[in-house]
Amino acid sequence: MGFLICLPLTAQRDAFNGLDVNLNNLYRLSDAKTRSISPENFTGEKGKGGMATLEEGSASKAARDLGQGWKVNPYVRIPAGETFTMAEIDGPGAIQQIWMTPMHYEPINRVRIRIAVPE
């Protein structure tokens, strides 16, 4: 003897904002607009990554045989005490991840990340 359990299949009940993505909600669709801000693309515009040339790239020596379109500018060195603005974006948003690699001799407690929120 077997049992048949019928569960109603429904469309997404609540709108999903795209935040806190994990394996439990990975299948859900969202109207969120994503961007990837990096030294390759400070604005996050689609199709604007890999635009650095060998003359201006931070890793130009390592990428000398690859040329434009590859990771010619994958990082930014920020000297101690200096301020660097990675991006200036208007409108609401959420930062999902920040990846940085402080130099081995720089104590992590001296690294500050400031996010300016307009009043």
Q: What is the pLDDT of residue 49?
A: 81
Which DSSP string corresponds to 19-50? -S--TTTTT----------BTTBSS--TT-TT
pLDDT, position 97: 82
Write down the pLDDT at residue 87. 84
Nearest to 117 by CA among 98, 96, 91, 97: 91
pLDDT band at 115 (very low <50, low <70, confident <90, very high): confident
- Residue spans of the domains in the chain: they are 33-119
Q: pLDDT per residue over 63-73, tens digit each?
A: 778 767 777 88
The model's pTM: 0.62
Segment 62-91 mean pLDDT: 81
Query: Is the predicted pLDDT of residue 108 greater than 80, yes or no?
Result: no
Residues 28-33 have a mean pLDDT of 83
- In terms of Cα–Cα distance, which of 71, 4, 68 is closest to 38? 71
* 50/67 Cα distance (integer angstroms): 10
- pLDDT bucket at 104, cuts 50 / 70 / 90: low
